[in-house]
Amino acid sequence: MAQCSVCSNSRAKEINRWLLLGRQGPDVATEFGFKAQTIRWHLRNHLPWRSRRAPKPETIMEELDVLEFELRRLTVLASCGEAIGGAIQALTARRALIELRARLEGKLDATHKKLALASRAPEGEFEVVFENGRPRTVEKQ
């Protein structure tokens, strides 16, 4: 199997850095001597990529997907030598807001232990019982 010509390039980290910081593929291709199609393929298959035309997240799960994408993007940027401290702080604040919204919507309990999304929540009535000093959720009888 042929290896990606961008990944095997000696300047791969610099190319990745440019792409993840928002430089346009054709500009990167010209600068580093690649075809625009090669750069586009590398971006979509070997780097965290999300279409700029993607709809804005509306649900908590969609927001979490965007947050996960941003974390993957920042991880690659850090491996390319980019300072990401401020971006990580912003990401942490966004995570806290998502948690708060989930709590307000009743999808996250106060102990941070369970994410019980409405679409996955079990049906029926449940109660908490204590066995050997530990709480356990059981179906009401």
Q: Express each pLDDT in 8-55 by its tens digit.
A: 999 999 999 999 999 999 999 999 999 999 999 999 999 998 888 999
pLDDT value of residue 128 = 79
Our CA dihedral for 34, 37, 39, 42, rounded to 10 degrees, sits at: -130
pLDDT value of residue 137 = 78
| Average confidence score pLDDT of the chain | 86
Identify the residue with better confidence: 107 or 101: 101
The closest of 129, 131, 130, 4 to 139, measured between CA atoms, is 129
Token readout for 71 is 């974390």
Say which residues have a Cβ less than 8 Å from residue 35's Cβ, sequence separation at least 6: 29
Mean pLDDT of 112-132: 64
List, in sequence order, every beta strand (DSSP E) within the chain: 126-131, 134-139
Q: What does pTM read for this prediction?
A: 0.69
pLDDT at 135 over 70: yes
pLDDT at 136 over 50: yes
How many C-beta neighbours within 10 Å does residue 78 have? 14
How far is CA 66 from each of CA 44, 54, 73, rounded to the nearest angstrom? 16, 10, 10
Bridge partner list, 108: 115
